[in-house]
Amino acid sequence: MNDNKPVNLFVFYRRWASDRVSDEALAKFASLSRIVTKEKGEILFSPPTESPQFYILLDGIIKTYILGPDGTENTYAIYFKPGMSISMTKDMINIPGIHCKALTNCKMIQLIGYSPFELAEEFPDLWREIVIALQPFYYGMMDKLRAGYTMTAKERYLWFLNKYPYVVDKISQVEVANFLGITPQSLSRIRTELAEEQEVTPSK
């Protein structure tokens, strides 16, 4: 997405939502939203988040994570598809200490000041679209847990290449290792082994 191209929020929401959501509701929702940009490495939110925050990704890659006792970032989910939404209020997900960070330069729609319950009450038809847009977060976490419990480190990396082909060349190998739950050194050995097997070629 071209960062210099203005985004008409009503038009975006009209394309994003189903026909059951009225133009009036979308126009009001658009009036409560704004376009924000985040630089690579910038924190979107971290504990304690004092006000409800809701984002819709337009362009870029972000991640959610918690910090381990030693300060290590343990990645929960990676977001990269335009239209994916992120809401880390306590009403939506019971994960203490959640952080969110931009892995690349990002453009997003931000809505501040509405809790999920308030959104559901004022925009019931639109709320359904929001819940649907949040599903990739939950599915992504479940899929990641499945991979972590049932696959070897090498198998997890191959799974990552298949599931996140758009992401793999756009984020650092340290971030890939964090997501897979292995050390960067282990990831390097796996990439070298796979390159020798001519399954994949490590990027330069």
pLDDT per position as a tens digit, 81-130:
888 877 765 555 556 678 889 999 999 998 877 766 777 788 888 877 77
Quick check: helix, strand or coil at residue 101? strand
pLDDT at 91: 54
| Closest by Cα among 75, 77, 28, 27 to 57 | 77
Query: Which residues lie below 8 Å from residue 68, measured CB to CB, with a gap of 6+?
Result: 74
What CA dihedral angle connects 29, 94, 101 and 170, to 10 degrees?
-100
Closest CA to 146 of 131, 159, 133: 159
On whether the CB atoms of residues 74 and 65 are closer than 8 A, the answer is yes
Tokens coding 47: 């504990």
Q: The tokens of 131 are what?
A: 């819940």
- pLDDT of 1 reads 45
Least confident of 6-10, 36-40, 58-62, 182-186: 6-10
Nearest to 74 by CA among 52, 56, 92, 97: 97
pLDDT-derived band at 189 (thresholds 50, 70, 90) equals: very high
Placement of tokens 């994916």 in the chain = 84
Residue 204 has pLDDT above 50, yes or no: no
Stretch 135-151: mean pLDDT, rounded?
82
- pLDDT band at residue 158, thresholds of 50, 70 and 90? very high
From first CA to last CA, the distance across the chain in angstroms is: 26
pLDDT in tens, 2-54: 445 557 889 888 888 888 888 998 898 888 889 999 999 999 888 766 556 77
One of 1.10.287.10, 3.40.50.800, 2.60.120.10, 2.60.40.10 is the CATH number of 9-126, namely 2.60.120.10
Is pTM beyond 0.75 here? yes
Q: DSSP state, 176?
A: H
